[in-house]
Protein backbone atom coordinates (compact mmCIF):
# COMPACT_ATOMS: atom_id res chain seq x y z
CA UNK A 1 0.00 0.00 0.00
CA UNK A 2 1.00 3.62 -0.32
CA UNK A 3 3.12 5.27 -2.94
CA UNK A 4 6.51 6.78 -3.51
CA UNK A 5 6.68 10.53 -2.98
CA UNK A 6 9.28 12.88 -4.35
CA UNK A 7 11.19 14.76 -1.68
CA UNK A 8 13.60 17.69 -1.93
CA UNK A 9 16.64 17.94 0.29
CA UNK A 10 16.67 21.31 2.04
CA UNK A 11 19.78 20.86 4.17
CA UNK A 12 22.52 18.39 4.93
CA UNK A 13 24.30 18.42 8.27
CA UNK A 14 27.72 16.71 8.32
CA UNK A 15 28.33 15.81 11.97
CA UNK A 16 31.58 14.11 10.96
CA UNK A 17 32.97 12.25 7.90
CA UNK A 18 30.50 9.41 8.24
CA UNK A 19 27.54 10.81 10.17
CA UNK A 20 24.88 12.97 8.54
CA UNK A 21 21.42 14.40 8.90
CA UNK A 22 19.28 15.14 5.87
CA UNK A 23 16.39 17.55 6.07
CA UNK A 24 13.83 17.31 3.31
CA UNK A 25 10.42 18.58 2.26
CA UNK A 26 7.94 15.86 1.29
CA UNK A 27 4.15 15.54 1.45
CA UNK A 28 4.26 12.73 4.01
CA UNK A 29 1.04 11.84 5.82
CA UNK A 30 0.63 12.28 9.59
CA UNK A 31 2.89 9.98 11.59
CA UNK A 32 3.64 9.16 15.22
CA UNK A 33 6.89 10.06 16.93
CA UNK A 34 9.21 7.05 16.86
CA UNK A 35 8.14 5.82 13.44
CA UNK A 36 10.28 5.33 10.36
CA UNK A 37 9.98 6.00 6.67
CA UNK A 38 11.49 4.19 3.69
CA UNK A 39 13.92 6.41 1.84
CA UNK A 40 15.05 5.55 -1.67
CA UNK A 41 17.23 6.60 -4.57
CA UNK A 42 17.24 5.31 -8.13
CA UNK A 43 20.49 3.59 -8.99
CA UNK A 44 21.00 2.15 -12.49
CA UNK A 45 17.26 2.10 -13.08
CA UNK A 46 16.47 0.39 -9.78
CA UNK A 47 15.06 1.98 -6.64
CA UNK A 48 17.15 1.15 -3.59
CA UNK A 49 15.33 1.90 -0.35
CA UNK A 50 16.01 1.49 3.36
CA UNK A 51 14.08 2.41 6.51
CA UNK A 52 15.11 5.51 8.49
CA UNK A 53 13.55 6.89 11.67
CA UNK A 54 12.22 10.42 11.55
CA UNK A 55 14.00 12.78 13.92
CA UNK A 56 11.48 15.59 13.54
CA UNK A 57 8.37 15.52 15.72
CA UNK A 58 4.96 15.12 14.07
CA UNK A 59 3.93 18.48 12.67
CA UNK A 60 7.49 19.76 12.64
CA UNK A 61 8.98 20.54 9.22
CA UNK A 62 11.17 19.89 7.35
CA UNK A 63 11.38 16.14 7.84
CA UNK A 64 14.72 14.86 9.05
CA UNK A 65 16.72 11.64 9.18
CA UNK A 66 20.02 10.88 10.90
CA UNK A 67 22.24 8.20 9.41
CA UNK A 68 25.76 6.93 9.23
CA UNK A 69 27.63 6.03 6.10
CA UNK A 70 28.11 2.28 5.83
CA UNK A 71 30.94 2.21 3.23
CA UNK A 72 29.95 -1.11 1.66
CA UNK A 73 26.21 -0.34 1.70
CA UNK A 74 24.34 0.48 -1.50
CA UNK A 75 22.24 3.37 -0.16
CA UNK A 76 23.85 5.24 2.72
CA UNK A 77 26.99 6.41 0.80
CA UNK A 78 24.70 7.80 -1.90
CA UNK A 79 22.48 9.53 0.66
CA UNK A 80 25.63 11.07 2.14
CA UNK A 81 26.48 12.63 -1.22
CA UNK A 82 23.13 14.44 -1.57
CA UNK A 83 23.07 18.22 -1.28
CA UNK A 84 20.34 20.83 -0.81
CA UNK A 85 18.12 20.91 -3.89
CA UNK A 86 18.62 17.20 -4.73
CA UNK A 87 15.71 14.80 -5.02
CA UNK A 88 15.14 11.60 -3.10
CA UNK A 89 12.12 9.36 -2.67
CA UNK A 90 10.19 8.61 0.49
CA UNK A 91 7.40 6.11 0.81
CA UNK A 92 4.08 7.40 2.07
CA UNK A 93 3.54 4.51 4.50
CA UNK A 94 5.31 5.81 7.62
CA UNK A 95 5.22 2.96 10.09
CA UNK A 96 6.72 1.38 13.22
CA UNK A 97 5.55 0.15 16.60
CA UNK A 98 8.04 2.00 18.84
CA UNK A 99 5.55 4.73 19.69
CA UNK A 100 3.98 6.08 22.87
CA UNK A 101 0.54 5.00 21.66
CA UNK A 102 1.68 1.37 21.76
CA UNK A 103 3.27 1.72 25.18
CA UNK A 104 1.48 0.42 28.28
CA UNK A 105 1.10 2.43 31.50
CA UNK A 106 4.37 3.34 33.19
CA UNK A 107 5.76 6.03 35.50
CA UNK A 108 9.35 5.86 34.37
CA UNK A 109 10.41 5.74 30.75
CA UNK A 110 13.90 4.41 29.96
CA UNK A 111 15.26 5.04 26.47
CA UNK A 112 18.45 3.29 25.32
CA UNK A 113 19.96 4.23 21.95
CA UNK A 114 23.16 3.41 20.13
CA UNK A 115 24.45 5.84 17.49
CA UNK A 116 21.84 7.09 15.06
CA UNK A 117 19.02 5.48 17.05
CA UNK A 118 18.93 8.64 19.16
CA UNK A 119 16.76 10.13 16.39
CA UNK A 120 13.37 8.54 17.10
CA UNK A 121 13.74 9.24 20.83
CA UNK A 122 14.31 12.94 20.15
CA UNK A 123 11.21 12.97 17.97
CA UNK A 124 9.24 11.45 20.87
CA UNK A 125 10.68 13.69 23.58
CA UNK A 126 9.81 16.80 21.57
CA UNK A 127 6.12 15.82 21.82
CA UNK A 128 3.94 16.19 24.92
CA UNK A 129 2.96 12.54 25.28
CA UNK A 130 5.94 11.11 27.20
CA UNK A 131 5.68 14.00 29.65
CA UNK A 132 1.97 13.51 30.14
CA UNK A 133 2.51 9.84 30.91
CA UNK A 134 5.81 9.47 32.75
CA UNK A 135 7.07 11.23 35.87
CA UNK A 136 10.67 10.58 34.87
CA UNK A 137 12.45 9.92 31.58
CA UNK A 138 16.01 8.58 31.34
CA UNK A 139 17.65 8.89 27.93
CA UNK A 140 20.89 6.93 27.42
CA UNK A 141 22.88 7.48 24.24
CA UNK A 142 25.97 5.46 23.45
CA UNK A 143 28.54 6.41 20.81
CA UNK A 144 32.13 5.35 20.15
CA UNK A 145 33.76 8.76 19.88
CA UNK A 146 32.85 12.20 21.14
CA UNK A 147 32.65 13.33 17.48
CA UNK A 148 29.68 10.95 17.09
CA UNK A 149 27.61 13.00 19.52
CA UNK A 150 24.76 14.76 17.77
CA UNK A 151 21.89 17.12 18.53
CA UNK A 152 23.49 18.50 21.72
CA UNK A 153 21.40 21.67 21.31
CA UNK A 154 18.15 19.70 21.15
CA UNK A 155 19.13 17.72 24.25
CA UNK A 156 20.07 20.90 26.12
CA UNK A 157 16.71 22.42 25.16
CA UNK A 158 14.85 19.32 26.39
CA UNK A 159 16.78 19.39 29.68
CA UNK A 160 15.93 23.07 30.10
CA UNK A 161 12.28 22.49 29.34
CA UNK A 162 11.78 19.42 31.53
CA UNK A 163 14.24 20.03 34.37
CA UNK A 164 14.94 17.07 36.60
CA UNK A 165 12.18 14.98 35.05
CA UNK A 166 14.72 14.17 32.30
CA UNK A 167 18.10 12.56 32.88
CA UNK A 168 20.48 12.34 29.94
CA UNK A 169 23.19 9.71 30.25
CA UNK A 170 25.85 10.00 27.53
CA UNK A 171 28.17 7.05 27.01
CA UNK A 172 31.34 7.38 24.91
CA UNK A 173 32.94 3.97 24.70
CA UNK A 174 36.34 4.69 23.13
CA UNK A 175 37.41 8.00 24.67
CA UNK A 176 37.54 9.55 28.07
CA UNK A 177 35.04 12.40 28.04
CA UNK A 178 34.07 14.50 31.04
CA UNK A 179 30.48 13.86 32.06
CA UNK A 180 30.14 10.69 29.97
CA UNK A 181 30.36 7.06 31.01
CA UNK A 182 33.13 5.13 29.26
CA UNK A 183 31.16 1.90 29.03
CA UNK A 184 28.74 0.24 26.68
CA UNK A 185 25.08 0.39 27.69
CA UNK A 186 24.84 -3.27 28.85
CA UNK A 187 27.91 -2.85 31.11
CA UNK A 188 26.66 0.47 32.49
CA UNK A 189 23.32 -1.09 33.30
CA UNK A 190 24.92 -4.15 34.91
CA UNK A 191 27.25 -2.01 37.03
CA UNK A 192 24.36 0.13 38.24
CA UNK A 193 25.99 3.30 36.82
CA UNK A 194 22.95 4.32 34.78
CA UNK A 195 20.52 3.99 37.68
CA UNK A 196 23.00 5.76 39.96
CA UNK A 197 23.16 8.75 37.60
CA UNK A 198 19.38 8.75 37.19
CA UNK A 199 18.88 8.42 40.94
CA UNK A 200 16.10 5.88 40.40
CA UNK A 201 15.89 2.11 39.98
CA UNK A 202 14.86 0.37 36.80
CA UNK A 203 12.21 -2.07 38.01
CA UNK A 204 9.22 -3.88 36.55
CA UNK A 205 6.69 -2.12 38.84
CA UNK A 206 6.87 1.22 37.04
CA UNK A 207 9.21 1.03 34.03
CA UNK A 208 8.81 0.96 30.32
CA UNK A 209 12.02 0.49 28.36
CA UNK A 210 12.65 1.24 24.70
CA UNK A 211 15.76 -0.20 23.04
CA UNK A 212 16.81 1.06 19.64
CA UNK A 213 19.79 0.57 17.36
CA UNK A 214 22.46 -2.10 17.38
CA UNK A 215 21.16 -5.66 17.91
CA UNK A 216 24.04 -6.67 20.23
CA UNK A 217 23.11 -3.89 22.65
CA UNK A 218 19.42 -4.72 22.37
CA UNK A 219 19.89 -8.42 23.01
CA UNK A 220 22.31 -7.92 25.91
CA UNK A 221 20.08 -5.35 27.63
CA UNK A 222 16.93 -7.36 27.04
CA UNK A 223 18.56 -10.40 28.65
CA UNK A 224 19.53 -8.37 31.73
CA UNK A 225 16.09 -6.85 32.01
CA UNK A 226 14.41 -10.24 31.72
CA UNK A 227 16.52 -11.49 34.61
CA UNK A 228 15.08 -8.56 36.61
CA UNK A 229 11.51 -9.57 35.81
CA UNK A 230 10.77 -7.29 32.83
CA UNK A 231 9.57 -8.82 29.58
CA UNK A 232 9.01 -7.92 25.93
CA UNK A 233 5.88 -5.89 25.32
CA UNK A 234 3.49 -7.30 22.77
CA UNK A 235 0.07 -6.04 21.89
CA UNK A 236 -1.66 -9.18 23.12
CA UNK A 237 0.73 -9.71 26.01
CA UNK A 238 1.60 -6.40 27.68
CA UNK A 239 5.15 -6.16 28.99
CA UNK A 240 7.87 -3.61 29.64
CA UNK A 241 10.30 -3.68 26.72
CA UNK A 242 9.86 -2.28 23.19
CA UNK A 243 12.55 -2.97 20.66
CA UNK A 244 13.62 -1.61 17.27
CA UNK A 245 16.69 -3.12 15.66
CA UNK A 246 18.51 -1.10 12.99
CA UNK A 247 21.17 -3.68 12.15
C1 LIG B 1 13.32 -0.07 11.24
C2 LIG B 1 14.68 0.45 10.86
C3 LIG B 1 14.98 1.80 11.02
C4 LIG B 1 16.25 2.26 10.70
N5 LIG B 1 16.54 3.57 10.93
C6 LIG B 1 17.81 4.01 10.73
C7 LIG B 1 18.16 5.35 11.05
O8 LIG B 1 17.34 6.17 11.49
N9 LIG B 1 19.46 5.72 10.85
C10 LIG B 1 20.41 4.83 10.36
O11 LIG B 1 21.59 5.21 10.25
N12 LIG B 1 20.08 3.59 10.02
C13 LIG B 1 18.81 3.15 10.18
N14 LIG B 1 18.48 1.88 9.81
C15 LIG B 1 19.46 1.12 9.00
C16 LIG B 1 19.27 1.57 7.53
O17 LIG B 1 18.01 1.17 7.06
C18 LIG B 1 20.33 1.02 6.57
O19 LIG B 1 20.47 -0.37 6.73
C20 LIG B 1 21.69 1.71 6.73
O21 LIG B 1 21.59 3.10 6.50
C22 LIG B 1 22.71 1.14 5.70
O23 LIG B 1 22.14 1.20 4.42
P24 LIG B 1 22.94 0.70 3.16
O25 LIG B 1 21.98 0.48 2.04
O26 LIG B 1 24.07 1.62 2.89
O27 LIG B 1 23.52 -0.71 3.60
P28 LIG B 1 22.72 -2.04 3.98
O29 LIG B 1 22.74 -2.97 2.82
O30 LIG B 1 21.37 -1.71 4.54
O31 LIG B 1 23.60 -2.61 5.15
C32 LIG B 1 24.97 -2.97 4.94
C33 LIG B 1 25.54 -3.47 6.25
O34 LIG B 1 25.58 -2.41 7.21
C35 LIG B 1 24.97 -2.77 8.43
N36 LIG B 1 24.32 -1.56 8.98
C37 LIG B 1 23.06 -1.12 8.72
N38 LIG B 1 22.83 0.03 9.38
C39 LIG B 1 23.96 0.32 10.05
C40 LIG B 1 24.32 1.37 10.91
N41 LIG B 1 23.43 2.37 11.22
N42 LIG B 1 25.57 1.36 11.43
C43 LIG B 1 26.46 0.36 11.13
N44 LIG B 1 26.15 -0.68 10.33
C45 LIG B 1 24.93 -0.70 9.79
C46 LIG B 1 23.98 -3.86 8.03
O47 LIG B 1 23.72 -4.74 9.13
C48 LIG B 1 24.70 -4.58 6.91
O49 LIG B 1 25.59 -5.54 7.43
C50 LIG B 1 17.22 1.39 10.15
C51 LIG B 1 16.89 0.04 9.96
C52 LIG B 1 15.66 -0.43 10.31
C53 LIG B 1 15.35 -1.90 10.11
CB 220, CB 229: distance < 8 Å: no
pLDDT tens-place string over residues 139-175: 999 999 999 999 999 999 999 999 999 999 999 999 9
Domain 100-245 in this protein, CATH class: alpha beta
CB 133, CB 99: distance < 8 Å: no
Domain ranges in the chain? 4-91, 100-245
What pLDDT, on the 0 to 100 scale, is given for residue 1? 80
Which atom of ligand 1 is closest in space to residue 70's alpha carbon?
A: 26
How far is the CA of 159 from the CAs of 22, 52, 152, 169, 200, in angstroms?
24, 25, 10, 12, 17
Which residues of 146-191 form beta strands (DSSP E)? Answer: 166-172
What pLDDT, on the 0 to 100 scale, is given for residue 223? 98
**What is the architecture, at CATH level 2, of domain 4-91?**
Beta Barrel (2.40)
- Strand pairing partners for 4? 91
Residue 160 Cα, ligand 1 centroid: separation in angstroms?
32
What pLDDT, on the 0 to 100 scale, is given for residue 169? 98
Q: Identify the segments of the chain with pLDDT beneath 70.
A: none
Residue 136 Cα, ligand 1 centroid: separation in angstroms?
30
Residue 163 Cα, ligand 1 centroid: separation in angstroms?
33
Amino acid sequence: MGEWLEATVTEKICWNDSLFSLRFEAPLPAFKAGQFVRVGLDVDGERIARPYSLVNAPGETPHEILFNLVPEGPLSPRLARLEAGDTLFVHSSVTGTMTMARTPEHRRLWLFATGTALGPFLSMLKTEEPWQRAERVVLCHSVRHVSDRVYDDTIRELLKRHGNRLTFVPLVTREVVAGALRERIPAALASGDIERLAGIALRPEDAHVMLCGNSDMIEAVQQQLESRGLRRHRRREPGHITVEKYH
